[in-house]
Chain A
Amino acid sequence: MTLLPEGNPRLPEHINHSNEHPLREFLKLLATVVVALTALAFAISLLAQWLSPYIPFRWEASAAFIVDDAVEQEFGTPAFEPEQQRALAELGQRLLLADRAAAAAAGRSEGLDIPDEAFSFQLVESEVANAFASLGARIFVTGSLIGSVSSENALAMVLAHEIAHVRYRHPIRSSSSALVLQVAMSAILDDASQAMLEGLLSGTGYLTAMSFSRRMELEADERALATLVKHYGHSFGADEFFRTVADAGADSRWLEFTRTHPNAERRLQVIEQSIRETVPEPASPPALAPLPPPLQAAPAL
């Protein structure tokens, strides 16, 4: 009987539970996880961008029907005349030849393995003036963009720029980076956190209105200018569209374009530099080619 205690002992606290302040623990954990996930995202993104150009174009082309579906969903069936579509495609094909010639002259060979026949140039309807290149050498131009340029040279600059994106495999690099990242996140995080993270990263629009990096845009501009000079002998008139964008500033109709094409000011500078170099007498600039007749009737902004 004397072996039994009088009552249950008062046991010390904080053996079975921690004394650490919960906020401190939370912040430490959060910092660790955020840093780790960011580093992982960065690494995955770099890896995807480095490896994806090795995916043969044939494979990219065979999966390109998803782009057509996405465009159909976003823009609906376009109501343009077949002559308008043909006029755009014909200009596109001419520029493809010029691009090849310019690349051959400069001794460059990137993207020349993509056959010219694989390229498709299509008009889509939208209130926003925009042009984008997507997977499978699909190039889309909105009717509003046609309406906002006054010469074939300006339109050619836009088309040549998109052609350059395709030649440099920018669509697959950009979209595979986003896609692989999403897959990795869904493998690590549970559904609830993943939904939240997706909201944060706003992963929409990887097939239409793809966002390329500034470097990609400048590279595409450089190649496009070389194509224009090959085709027209100069790059006068190439700045029209970019000037319109720069002037429009925060106009809501242009927001979509500026959101996916950052750096308009800098790009304009590069184009102007090219114009200065290729137009020997600024006082008497060369004549600009007019838009192909079927495209002159496109809706103006």
Chain B
Amino acid sequence: MESLLQIGVFLLLLGAGYFFGRRAEARHYRSIRAGEDRLRHILVLTDRLPPPGMLQDRPCMVNGNVVISVDFFKTIVAGLRNLVGGNISAYESLLDRARREAILRMQQEAADLGARAVINMKFETSRISGSAGSAVGAVEVLAYGTALVAPR
């Protein structure tokens, strides 16, 4: 009886994780695409040096930071993957969203400064563990770079 209850709770959490997780992910991707369209004019480059034509621009550090949590369903799928091996595509989509969102926030900071480009962009990713144990609580992605503001 107790084991039935355990299975029931597990399936409920799994279902909730799947349902809400999928909805959150779809919504997030929509907002990311909209944001990318809106901020498309703020160039993001990984070049170390400013491109010719922007050498007189005022440099300024900008960063974009985002923390996204893993839902229960993704955690279970990752657990199964850890047994079998292969890409954990559940986490891949999570990190893809996190990276793109971080870039957007960085671009937003640059836009607020009146910049037209961000160069030397880099990423930092770290794991924020929620509870003790194997479950990944959340992942944080930081995107930082040098914004170039055109001289007056």
Show the binding face of A for B, using Cβ within 8 Å.
1, 3-8, 10, 16-18, 20, 22-23, 25-26, 29-30, 32-33, 36, 188, 190-193, 196, 199-200, 202
Q: Is the CB of B87 within 8 A of A3?
A: no
Is B3 located at the chain interface by the 8 A CB criterion? yes
Of the candidates A18, A22, A23, A32, the one whose C-beta lies within 8 Å of that of B87 is: A18
Closest to B44 in A: A8
Of the candidates B43, B77, B134, B135, the one whose C-beta lies within 8 Å of that of A22 is: B77
**CA distance in complex: A21, B80 (Å):** 16
Chain B residues contacting A26 (CB-CB under 8 Å) are 18, 73, 76-77, 80
CB contact under 8 A between A7 and B87, given known A25-B77, A190-B134, A196-B10: no
**CA distance in complex: A108, B40 (Å):** 88
Show the binding face of B for A, using Cβ within 8 Å.
2-3, 6-7, 10, 18, 22, 36-37, 39-44, 51-53, 73-74, 76-77, 79-81, 83-84, 87, 89-90, 92-93, 95-96, 117, 133-135
CB contact under 8 A between A202 and B80, given known A4-B53, A16-B92: no
Closest to A15 in B: B96
**CA distance in complex: A11, B49 (Å):** 23
Chain A residues contacting B37 (CB-CB under 8 Å) are 10
CB contact under 8 A between A22 and B80, given known A7-B41, A7-B43: no
Of the candidates A4, A10, A18, A30, the one whose C-beta lies within 8 Å of that of B92 is: A18
**Distance in Å from the Cβ of A81 to the closest Cβ of chain B?**
38
Q: Is the CB of A10 within 8 A of B89?
A: no
**CA distance in complex: A30, B73 (Å):** 12
Chain B residues contacting A200 (CB-CB under 8 Å) are 3, 7
Q: Is the CB of B6 within 8 A of A199?
A: yes
Q: Is the CB of B96 within 8 A of A17?
A: yes
Q: Is the CB of B10 within 8 A of A22?
A: no
Q: Is the CB of A188 within 8 A of B53?
A: no
Closest to A22 in B: B90
**CA distance in complex: A127, B111 (Å):** 80
Q: Is the CB of B83 within 8 A of A188?
A: yes
A8-B40, A23-B18 given; 19 more Cβ-contact pairs under 8 Å: A1-B53, A5-B43, A7-B41, A10-B36, A18-B92, A22-B73, A22-B77, A22-B90, A25-B90, A26-B76, A26-B80, A29-B81, A29-B84, A33-B80, A33-B84, A36-B83, A190-B133, A199-B6, A199-B7
